[in-house]
Structure 1
Amino acid sequence: MDAVSMILDVGVKPITRTLLMFELKITPNFEELECLPIDVVVEDRSIIIDKKIVHSQYFMLKKQYVGETTTLNFPVEIHGPLPKEFILDIHNFLSYFNHEPITVAVPLTHIVLPEEEEYHPLPAEAFDVQSLLPVASLGNTSYEALYQNQFKQFNKIQTHAFQVLYKSDDNVFLAAPTGSGKTTCAEIAILRNHQKGHMRVVYIAPIRAIAQNQYREWKTKFGGGLNSMIVELTGENETDLKLLEEGQIIITTPQIWDALSRQWKQIIQIQQVPLLILDDLHFIGGPEGHILERIIVRMKQISTRVGKKMRIVALSAPITNGKDIGEWIGATSHSLFNFSPTARHVPLELFIKVVEFSDLRSANPLVRLKEMAKITHSFITEHAKKGKPILVYVPTWENVSRTVFNMISVSQAKSWVQLNSQQHQAFEASICKISNLELKSALALGVGFLHEGLNTNDQEFVIRSFEAGLIKICIISSSMCWEVSLSAHIVVLMGTEYYDFDGPSYPITDILHMMGQAGRRLIDSVGKALILCLPNKKRYYNILLRDLLPIESHFHNCLNDTVNAEIVAGIVENFKDAVDYLEKSFLCRRLPKNPSYYDFPGFIGEDAGTHLSSLVQRSMNELMTSGMVRDEGGDNISSSVLGRIASNNYINYRTIGAFSTRITLDSNIRDLLEILWSATEFEAHPTRRLHVEEDEIRVLIAKEKFPHVDNRVTNPQTKAIALLQAHFSRLPISSMNLEADRREVVLLFEKLLIGLMEVISDRRWILSYARAMEINQILIQAIWHDDPILLQLPHFTRELVDKCNDINIQNFYDLKTTERQNVRELLGLTTSEWMDITRFMEYNSFPIKHHVRMDEIFSRQRRTVDVILRTKRKRNEILIKFPHYPCKRRIKWWVFVLDDQDNVLAFKSVSLWTPNMLDVTLRFTSPVQTESASYNLYFVCDSIKGVTERRSFHVKGCAVD
Structure 2
Amino acid sequence: MVSSSSQKNFRSLLSTFRSPSYKPAKTPEENDEFEGTPTKKAYRGDSLLPNFEEFQRQPQIPNAEIDVLDDDIPLDAFDKELLSQLGHDATELTVPMYEQKVIPQPEPFSTPLHRGRSSKFGSSNTLITPPFRPLASSSSDFESPPSPSLTVEGISRGRLHGLDVHKSPHWPPARDITPPVTFSPFQRRAVVKSPEIQLKHAPPIIQGIRLVSTRELPDRFRTLFSFPLFNAIQSKTFPVIYHRADNVVLSAPTGSGKTVIMELAICKLVSDLKDSHFKVVYLAPTKSLCSERFRDWRAKFAPLDLKCAELTGDTDHFQIRNVQQASIIITTPEKWDSMTRKWKDHMKLMQLIKLVLIDEVHILKEARGAILEAVISRMKSVNSNVRFVALSATVPNSEDIASWLGKDPTNQHLPAHRERFGEEFRPVTLQKFVYGYQANGNDFAFDKVCETKLPEVLAKHSSKKPILVFCCTRNSAIATSKNLAKLWSSTNPSQRLWKSPTKPIHVQNADLSGIVSTGVAFHHAGLDSADRHTIETSFLNGQINVICCTSTLAVGVNLPCHLVVIKNTVSWQDGGCKEYADLEMMQMLGRAGRPQFDDSAVGVIITRKERVGHYEKLVSGSDPLESCLHLNLIDHLNAEIGLGTVTDIESAIRWLRGTFFFVRLQRNPTYYKLKEGGNRADEEELLRQTCEKDLELLQENDLVTANPPFKSTELGDAMARYYVKFETMKLFLSLPQKAKMSEILSVIAQADEFRDIRLKPGEKSLYKEINKASGIKFPIKTDINLSAHKITLLIQSELGAVELPSGEQFQKHRLSFQQDKSLVFSHINRIIRCIIDCQLAHGDSVSARHALELSRSLGAKAWDDSVLQLKQIDQIGIVAVRKFASAGITNMEQLEAAEPIRIETILSRNPPFGMKLLTRVAEFPKPRVSLKEVGKDIKPGKIPRVKFKADIGFVNEKPPLYFQKRQVYVCFLAEISDGRIIDFRRFQ
* Structure-2-length-normalised TM-score: 0.69
- Identity of aligned pairs, percent? 24
d(CA) in 1 for partners of 2:329 and 2:754?
Answer: 29
Deviation at 1:352, TM superposition (A): 2.2
Residue aligned with 2:210, SS: coil
Q: Which residue of 1 aligns with 2:719?
A: 646
How far has the Cα of 1:650 moved from its partner? 0.7
Q: Give the residue type in structure 2 aligned to 1:536.
A: E
Q: Residue 437 of structure 1 aligns with which residue?
A: 510
d(CA) in 1 for partners of 2:714, 2:634: 16
Compared CA separation, residues 192 and 836, structure 1 to 2 (3 A)? farther
Indicate the residue corresponding to 2:304 in structure 1: 226
User: What pairs with 1:795-806 in structure 2 (closer than 5 Å)?
Assistant: 804=884
* Alignment partner of 1:668 is 2:749: no
Secondary structure of 1:909 counterpart: strand
- The change in CA–CA distance for 1:832 and 1:135 in structure 2 (over 3 A counts) is farther
Q: Distance in 1 between matches of 2:695 and 2:435?
A: 49
1:355 and 1:626 map into 2 onto residues whose CA distance is 48
Q: 1:679 Cα deviation (Å)? A: 1.5
In structure 2, which of residues 465, 481, 498 is the aligned counterpart of residue 404 of structure 1?
481
1:817 aligns with one of 872, 878, 897? 897
In the alignment, the residues of structure 2 paired with residue 832 and residue 182 of structure 1 have an alpha-carbon distance, to the nearest angstrom, of: 55
Q: Counterpart of 1:943?
A: none
| Residues 337, 371 of structure 2: 8 Å contact kept | yes
Alpha-carbon separation, structure 1, partners of 2:216 and 2:600: 30
Per-residue deviation, 1:194: 1.9
Shift of 1:696: 5.1
2:143 to 113, 123, 129: 123
Match of 2:427 in 1: 345
1:645 and 1:275 map into 2 onto residues whose CA distance is 30
Give per-residue Cα distances to partners, 1:104-141, cap 9 Å, x unaligned: xxxxxxxxxxxxxxx9732224971343222222222x
| Range moving further from structure 2, 452-461 or 637-646 | 452-461
Question: How far does the alpha carbon of each residue in 1:359-415 deviate from its partner, in whole angstroms, 9 at most, with x for none?
Answer: 8799745743541332244235xx333xx3211101112211101101111111875
> After superposition, what is the alpha-carbon deviation per residue over 1:492-541, rounded to whole angstroms, capped at 9, x for unaligned?
11121335999543222222221122112243111111122233333433
Q: CA 1:798–1:282 in structure 2 vs 1: closer, same or farther (change >3 Å)?
A: closer
Q: Which structure features the higher share of strand residues?
A: 1
- 1: distance between equivalents of 2:783 and 2:595? 52
For 1:245 and 1:202, locate their aligned partners in 2 and report how far apart those are by CA, in whole Å.
12
Answering whether residue 793 of structure 2 is matched by residue 722 of structure 1, we say yes
Q: What is the distance in 2 between the residues matched to 1:569 and 1:650? A: 14
Deviations 1:133-168 (A, max 9, x none): 22222222x3222222xx322111111111111111
Partner-residue secondary structure (3-state), 1:202: strand
The 1:904–1:613 alpha-carbon spacing in structure 2 relative to 1, beyond 3 Å, is closer
Alignment correspondent of 1:466:
539
Aligned to 2:336: 257
Structure index of larger Rg: 2
How far off its partner does 1:805 sit?
5.1
Distance in structure 1 (CA, Å) of the matches to 2:624 and 2:957? 53
Provide the aligned C-alpha RMSD in A.
3.9
Q: Give 3-state SS (helix, strand or coil) of 1:563's partner.
A: helix
Does the 8 A contact of 1:416 with 1:447 survive in 2? Answer: no
Asked whether 1:194 is paired with 2:275, we answer: no
SS at match of 1:532: strand
Asked if the contact 1:794–1:833 (Cα under 8 Å) also holds between the matched residues in 2, the reply is no
Query: Relative to 1, partners in 2 of residues 1:906 and 1:869: Cα closer, same or farther, differing over 3 Å?
Result: farther
- Whole-angstrom CA distance in 2 between matches of 1:692 and 1:398: 17
1:873-925 deviations in Å (ceiling 9; x for gaps) = 999x86654xxxxxx533333346799999986443333xxxxxxxxxxxxxx
Spell out, residue by residue over 1:171-217, the C-alpha distance to the aligned partner (whole angstroms, 9 max, x if none): 00001111111111111111112222244200000111111111111
In the TM superposition, what is the alpha-carbon distance from 1:798 to its structure 2 partner? 7.0
Determine which of 390, 399, 410 is the counterpart of 1:323. Answer: 399
1:487-886, aligned counterparts within 5 Å?
487-498=560-571, 503-546=577-620, 548-601=622-675, 603-607=677-681, 608-632=683-707, 635-665=708-738, 667-686=739-758, 700=770, 705-708=777-780, 715-730=786-801, 731-732=803-804, 734-785=813-864, 787-788=866-867, 791-792=870-871, 804=884, 807-829=887-909, 834=914, 837-838=917-918, 840-846=920-926, 880-881=963-964
- 1:81 is matched with none
Change in Cα spacing, 1:409 to 1:836, as seen in structure 2 (3 Å) is: farther
Aligned partner letter, 1:908: R
**In 2: Cα distance, 1:861 partner to 1:706 partner:** 40
User: Which letter maps to 1:586?
Assistant: F
Q: Contact 1:204–1:277 (CA<8 Å) still a contact in 2?
A: yes
What CA distance in whole angstroms lies between the structure 2 residues aligned with 1:565 and 1:316?
A: 27
SS in 2 for 1:312: strand
Residues 239/799 of structure 1: CA separation in 2 closer, same or farther (3 Å cut): closer
- Asked if the contact 1:489–1:519 (Cα under 8 Å) also holds between the matched residues in 2, the reply is yes
CA distance in 1, matches of 2:781, 2:675: 42
Deviations 1:730-767 (A, max 9, x none): 33475434423311211211110011111223344444
Q: Which amino acid aligns with 1:350?
A: K
Please name the residue that 2:225 is paired with: 147
Aligned with 2:826: secondary structure? helix
Q: Which residue number in structure 1 is paired with residue 386 of structure 2?
A: 310
Structure 2, unaligned stretches of length 5 or more? 1-138, 146-204, 408-413, 805-810, 936-943
1:280 to 360, 363, 368: 360
Instruction: Give how far 1:472 is off.
Output: 2.0
1:242 aligns with 2:313: no
CA distance in 2, matches of 1:326, 1:170: 11
The change in CA–CA distance for 1:710 and 1:165 in structure 2 (over 3 A counts) is farther
1:208 aligned to 2:280?
Answer: no
Which residue in the other structure is 2:57 paired with? none
Pairing partner for 1:373 from 450, 454, 467: 454
Q: Is the partner of 1:121 in helix, strand or coil? A: strand
SS of the equivalent of 1:349 reads: strand
Please, which of 467, 471, 476 is the counterpart of residue 390 of structure 1? Answer: 467
Q: Which amino acid aligns with 2:743?
A: D
Q: Tell which deviates more after alignment, 500-509 or 488-497.
A: 500-509
Which amino acid letter does the alignment assign opposite residue 686 of structure 2? Answer: H
Separation of aligned partners in 2, 1:371 and 1:145: 51
Equivalenced residues, count: 754
In structure 1, list runs of 5 or more residues that go unmatched. 1-118, 882-887, 912-961
> Within 1, Cα distance between the matches of 2:321 and 2:957?
15
Is 1:158 matched up with 2:246?
Answer: no
Normalising to structure 1: TM-score of the pair? 0.71
- Kindly indicate whether residue 206 of structure 2 is the aligned counterpart of residue 134 of structure 1: no
Paired letter, 1:747: S
Quick one: which of 355, 363, 377 aligns to 1:297?
A: 377
Give 2:261's aligned residue: 185
Written as runs of structure 1 = structure 2, the 5 A alignment for 1:348-367 is: 348-355=430-437, 364=445, 367=448
Q: 1:485 to 1:801 in 2, by over 3 A?
A: closer
Contact 1:791 1:798 in 2 (8 A): no
Counterpart AA for 2:696: N
Q: Which residue of 1 aligns with 2:247?
A: 171
